[in-house]
């Protein structure tokens, strides 16, 4: 069984997730009437932009990396299963989803869901990047956790 994805393709999925996150929060920034929510959306959109840059740097370093696996295709099959159900791995989904949102409560609930899904995906991603790059992924995971906390905080105030 061959690899479902190369390591670089998994990182490219991470880039797409971050682009969709940036677009999602950017649209919410324009739509929201709550100043507090707008501040959070602006912050989160900018943060996702920083993550894109970080993943692009990782991508350059791992173009031909193949992880050590228990059996051929192990990690890639796992990540394919994760990515298959994750809408933010599909191009332009962030803004498309945000356009349909009717309230800040709905937006925050979806943001919480997307941040949680990103954390799970990135935890899995750590197994398909070289060990020397896992610190970058860990830092991004911690930032996503911080985003999650900010969204929970805003949810409590809405």
For the chain, give the percent of residues with pLDDT over 90. 34
Q: Categorize the per-residue pLDDT at 3 as very low, low, confident or very high, splitting at 50, 70 and 90.
A: very low
pLDDT in tens, 77-112: 766 666 666 657 677 888 889 999 999 999 999 999
pTM of the model: 0.77
CA 129 to chain centre: 16
| Three-state secondary-structure class, residue 124 | helix
All domains in the chain, ordered by first residue: 7-157 (1.20.1260.10)
Q: What is the rounded distance in angstroms from the CA atom of residue 128 to the CA atom of residue 131?
A: 9
Kindly report the number of other CB atoms within 10 A of residue 100's CB atom.
9
**Residue 17: CB partners within 8 Å, gap ≥ 6?**
86, 88, 89, 118, 121
Q: What is the rounded distance in angstroms from the CA atom of residue 119 to the CA atom of residue 86?
A: 12
**Residue 31: CB partners within 8 Å, gap ≥ 6?**
98, 101, 107
Instruction: Phi first, then psi: give them for residue 92, nearest 5 degrees.
Output: 65, 10
Q: Report whether pLDDT(31) > 90.
A: yes
């Amino acid at each position: 069984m061959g690899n479902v994805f190369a390591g670089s393709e998994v990182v490219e999925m991470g880039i797409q997730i971050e682009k969709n996150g940036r677009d999602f929060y950017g649209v919410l920034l324009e739509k929201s009437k709550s100043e507090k929510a707008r501040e959070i959306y602006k912050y989160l959109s900018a943060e996702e932009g920083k993550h894109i840059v970080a993943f692009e740097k990782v991508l350059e370093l791992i173009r031909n990396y193949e992880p050590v696996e228990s059996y051929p295709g192990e990690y890639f099959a796992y990540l394919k299963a994760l990515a298959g159900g994750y809408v933010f791995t599909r191009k332009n989904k962030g803004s498309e989803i945000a356009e349909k949102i009717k309230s800040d409560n709905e937006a925050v609930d979806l943001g919480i869901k997307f941040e949680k899904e990103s954390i799970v995906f990135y935890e899995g991603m750590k197994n398909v990047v070289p060990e020397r790059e896992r610190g970058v992924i860990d830092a991004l995971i911690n930032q996503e956790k911080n985003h999650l906390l900010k969204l929970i905080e805003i949810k409590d105030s809405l």
